Amino acid sequence: MAKLSIKGLIESALSFGRTLDSDYPPLQQFFVVMEHCLKHGLKVRKSFLSYNKTIWGPLELVEKLYPEAEEIAASVRDLPGLKTPLGRARAWLRLALMQKKMADYLRCLIIQRDLLSEFYEYHALMMEEEGAVIVGLLVGLNVIDANLCVKGEDLDSQVGVIDFSVYLKSDDDIGGKERDIQIAAILDQKNYVEELNRQLNSTVSSLHARVDSLEKSNTKLIEELAIAKNNIIKLQEENHQLRSENTLILMKTQHHLEAAKVDVEAELQTYKHSRQGLDEMYTEARRQLREEAQLRQDMENELVVQVSMKHEIELAMKLLEKDIHEKQDTLIGLRQQLDEVKAINVEMYQKLQVSEDAMKEKNEIISRLEDKTNQINATMKQLEQRLQQAEKAQMEAEAEDEKLKQEYVNKSESLQNEFSQKEKQLLQLETDLKIEKEWRQTLEDDLQKEKETVSHLRTETQEIVTLKKEFLKLQEKNKQLKSICEDQEAALQELASKLSESKLKIEDIKEANKALQGQVWLKDKEATHCKLCEKEFSLSKRKFLLFCL
């Protein structure tokens, strides 16, 4: 029945005009048959008050599987006159037919058998192969233009009964073969135009998506460059802070060393002058030893702080290396984009050359046509001269006729022969005039055709001029893009130079840290000799850090 209803609907629509209203009987029968097909094998669901068995559940599922069906579902839900799920399902079928996507929506629904099993039994029509056959038949309905008013109809209370008498018609009502062939050719042309429109829409959407992605990637790259510059500035500031702190620590240690040197020199002078205050000096030495031990403890704490700062610097180095690798990847991406832009420019240049060649050919054709028009004008002038000569000859003949009539009284017999000859000459001249007029008319028609071709070629030249202007605009845009790319490359080169400088500075910091790592703090018991002069420590030669006094 589905096959018969679809076939009858298509044939009747082709003979009727292919723009159908909601009152068209074959269309109403098609919706009834589709409703019965979708209801076949539906599972009964218990609701709060009664049992529910409607086709709105599986049709509402199409919205999740096919994103373009969201508009239909939303419009069906917003319809004010619908109160039951069956009415919503009928409105959905009518909107899908008007949108010419009923086959696509139901195909997405049939593919998902696991989701359909929640609504249908295993023996249902939509779960079997016959459902796929019906969906394939629905593709033919794309040639029909339906103009249905869903708001005014009472879709909730309609009774769906199939009228079998509609399909019991004879083959005599079908038109002849010639009409069918013409209609099939027209339908093929329409399908071809619709397919071309779809392809063009898809290409336009893909180009828009590509432009949007390129703009997004460009903005992301600019943001990443700004973030990288900020990170480099922060790292440079931290490096300056670390250097200033290191210089302050070194100044403090030198100050302590100088103070200790002054104290030791004072002790030596007092020891040389007199040994009387030996006990007092011993106590002072003990006190100084305690102070030195305290200073040593402070220095150890400072060394621990420096080690922690060293670990932080290493972490910063690793982060910088990661940023450098990321920037190299972005540079590679930008170069690829530049190559693509160059390829597009080459294609545009080739198109410009092709258009220029076509313009040259059309200019040659225009020059040839102008030569033809000049020749036609020359022939027209010659024909006009011939007409004037023929008119003069006719006037002379008329004058001779008048003379002959005056002399006819005296010389009737001899002049009759001459008069007959003159009449023959007149007939010949009249035939020549007719031929010349016909030739002139044909030449005028040819001239009119040539003028039309010249006007057509002029319009084409104007279109070529507009294309040339558009190409010049594209060239200007290309130059702007090239300048932007060159600025970005210069900025990237500056960033790479700054990164290389920061790398060198970090390598210097690493070498300084390695030099500090080579020195080890010895215990008091193990430090018996000075490492610079290799002399033993005594009361006169005191030990302080790694320097001997």
pLDDT digits (tens, 9 = 90+) for 408-439: 566 667 667 777 777 787 888 888 888 888 88
Taking CA atoms, 386 is separated from 197, 390, 397, in Å, by 59, 6, 16
Domains of the chain and any CATH numbers? 2-174 (1.20.58.900)
Nearest by Cα to 86 from 52, 115, 120: 52
419, 404 contact by CB (below 8 A): yes
DSSP reduced 3-state for 175: coil
Contact between residue 98 and residue 147 where contact means Cβ atoms under 8 Å apart: yes
Token digits of residue 309: 């700062």
Q: Which two tokens stand for residue 336?
A: 């690829």
Angstrom distance (rounded) from CA 157 to CA 451: 67
In the three-class reduction of DSSP (H, G, I as helix; E, B as strand; rest coil), residue 523 is classed as coil
DSSP state of 529: B
Distance (Å) of CA 448 to CA 216, 280, 444, 452: 57, 135, 6, 6
Q: Which pLDDT score, from 0 to 100, does residue 546 have? A: 41
Q: What is the pLDDT of residues 140-171, one digit of tens each?
A: 888 888 777 777 666 777 766 676 665 554 34
- Cβ partners under 8 Å of residue 456, min gap 6: none
Of the candidates 93, 109, 100, 101, which has an alpha carbon nearest to the alpha carbon of residue 153?
A: 93
Q: Which are the contacts of 268, defined by CB distance < 8 A and separation ≥ 6?
A: 540
Burial 312-347 (b: 16+ CB within 10 A, else e): ebeebbeebeebbeebeebbeebeebbeeeeeebee
pTM above 0.85, yes or no: no
CA angle 466, 469, 475 (to 5 degrees): 145
One-letter amino acid at 23 equals D
Please tell me the predicted confidence (pLDDT) of residue 517.
61
Q: Which residues of the chain have pLDDT under 70?
A: 16-19, 45-53, 152-154, 159-161, 163-182, 264, 267-268, 271-283, 285, 345, 401, 404-412, 414-415, 512-523, 539-549
The predicted pLDDT at position 272 comes to 65
